């Protein structure tokens, strides 16, 4: 179940459908740059951040290069293209899924 929730949010991200994308996240979502730099706290902040990001980057695409699933954790190595910087962004995202929603994300 954890993997399917994360995969669905990746698909919504790639279609830049902010409402569908947000539907996979908890109201109390927290997103961090590892280890403890808080980027987003709550779904309202997330909507503001990703809504404008999707609008500004119509060619946005996330490719999952590798995925590890361990219980409620999904760890993705991602390559993101189509941003205004015109470069490939690489990241590791650690998603914690509980009660059918993404509760927490850490980016490395």
pLDDT at 97: 98
Angle at 101 between CA 100 and CA 105, to 5 degrees: 140
Task: Give the closest residue to 60 by CA, choosing from 37, 42, 86, 38.
Answer: 86
What's the CATH architecture for 2-107? Roll (3.10)
pLDDT attached to residue 87: 87
Of 57, 60, 58, 64, the C-alpha closest to 79 is 64
Which residues partner with 91 through β-bridges? Answer: 78
Tokens found for residue 19:
């409402």
- The predicted-structure confidence for 52-78, as pLDDT tens digits, reads as follows 999 999 999 999 999 999 999 999 999
- Residues in the chain predicted with pLDDT less than 50, given as ranges, are none
pTM of the full predicted structure? 0.94
Looking at residue 108, the DSSP 8-state letter turns out to be -
Please report the pLDDT score of residue 86 as a whole number: 73
């Amino acid at each position: 179940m954890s993997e399917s929730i994360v995969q669905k949010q990746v698909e919504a991200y790639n279609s830049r459908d902010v409402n569908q994308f947000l539907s996979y996240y908890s109201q109390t979502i927290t997103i961090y740059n590892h280890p403890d730099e808080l980027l987003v706290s709550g779904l309202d902040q997330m909507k503001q951040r990703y809504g404008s990001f999707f609008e500004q980057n119509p060619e946005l695409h996330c490719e999952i290069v590798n995925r590890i699933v361990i219980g409620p954790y999904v760890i993705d190595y991602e390559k993101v293209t189509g941003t205004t910087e015109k470069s490939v962004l690489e990241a590791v995202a650690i998603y914690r899924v509980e009660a059918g929603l993404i509760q927490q994300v850490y980016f490395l």
